[in-house]
Amino acid sequence: MERSTSDNNCTLFTTGESKKCLNLGSYNYLGFADDWNSTCKDQVLQSVNKWPNSLCSSRMDLGTSVIHEQLEKLVAEYVGKEAAIVYTMGYETNSCTIPAIMGPGTLIISDGLNHTSLVNGARGSSSFIRVFRNNDIEHLEEILREAIVNGQPKHHRPWKKILVMVEGIYSMEGSICKLAEIVQVCKKYKAYLYLDEAHSIGALGPNGRGVCEYSGVDPANIDIMMGTFTKSFGAMGGYIAASKEIINYIKSTSSGLLHHSSMSPVVAQQIITAFSIIMGRDGSKVGRKKLDSLMNNSNYFRSEMKRLGVHVYGDYNSPIIPIMIYFPAKIAAFSRECLKRGVAVVVVGFPATSVLYSRARFCISAGHTKKDLDFAIKVIDEVTTLLCMKYKNSFIGR
């Protein structure tokens, strides 16, 4: 939908005109939002007739149904944990779970690039918080060692609990967590590990089971695994997977489960159907093709960005591919020039990143064809040349 403004405050209004664009900013990693009519529609529409749209109650009152329990069992099986609990919202999953399991006298050690939901969950927990540099294993170990030696501030008693929080794929960097090394450090110092797989579940690993499968880490070594259904599964909500003991405790203490309305049964069916396709239980090879296409598309697009001479962040196999803009004045220009040429992109500046590290963040999908990607690459080549963003070629971007 095209928008315009007629005042100095830049109040936007829709013009009534629309423009067809290639979407490079959606978290639609496995393409379920594109082919929903052929993949998920039938089962989801059947659930509309079978279940109410909402149970109008929290999970701990009258908001738990058979379909919720079915979904939780499936999630636990998929990620390799004993039990799971699902929330209505991904942000809520972190912001309500962390205060439920952490409190006074505990320490949270958080990766410096963790998502806002993790940050606000930690702040709401009354825990003492330390931050380590993104994916810096030595810095993490240094903080852990110092925390154990010194204990709590003022009286120096031992910490009741130490929790390390990391993400599978960092959403602004496109980098993949060094999970195997982090697990070793946490085991060495007997710290608990909280893994946020919002962007890695369904997108990493040969079978889409996330960063544990990708890194060869046994899920038993992760104390709490969190993920969302808003990306790879074409739905909404999130989950926590852990031991039965931890899940039962969260059920009785998390405000998101005690007070918030439960997930719509129709949404739960969408997620179950997506899981069935990804796991190949629908009898087709659609899930296998989606997983392969996502990895191939991501690596092709990343290699082409590097060929163009722009600064590219992140790792191969990650569907998030940021290219650096750096200059704040170029942020809006890059977005608008791409839009003129039929490509919709997401640009990111302060405060989501530091002032000096503004960027464009591309999110690749299994739904993209080779023709789509080649068209996008051609447009980005033109725009980065126009805005002098090819910093790999020279420091002035020409």
Region 186-198: what's the mean pLDDT? 97
Domains, the chain, with CATH or none:
3-30+287-386 (3.90.1150.10), 39-278 (3.40.640.10)
Contact criterion met (CB below 8 Å) for 310 and 324 = yes
Q: For residue range 134-167, list pLDDT tens digits in order.
A: 999 999 999 999 999 999 998 999 999 999 999 9
Report d(CA 160, CA 180) in Å as an integer. Answer: 25
In this prediction, residue 353 has a pLDDT band, given cuts at 50, 70 and 90, of confident
Q: For residue range 203-255, list pLDDT tens digits in order.
A: 999 999 999 999 999 999 999 999 999 999 999 999 999 999 999 999 999 99
Handedness of CA 244, 248, 253, 255 (dihedral sign): positive
Residue 395 pLDDT exceeds 90:
no
Q: For residue range 276-326, list pLDDT tens digits in order.
A: 999 999 999 999 999 999 999 999 999 999 999 999 999 999 999 999 999
Q: What's the gap between Cα 345 and its chain centre? A: 18
Separation in Å, CA 11 to CA 5, 344, 346, 347: 6, 21, 20, 19
Helices 265-278 + 286-308 axis angle, to 10: 80
Report d(CA 87, CA 353) in Å as an integer. Answer: 28
The neighbour count for residue 280, using CB atoms within 10 Å, is 13
The residue among 314, 274, 316 whose CA lies nearest residue 294 is 316
Model pTM? Answer: 0.94
Report d(CA 123, CA 16) in Å as an integer. Answer: 43
> What pLDDT was estimated at residue 156?
92
Specify which residues 167 forms β-bridges with. Answer: 196
Q: For residue range 73-103, list pLDDT tens digits in order.
A: 999 999 999 999 999 999 999 999 999 999 9
Residue 351 pLDDT exceeds 90:
no
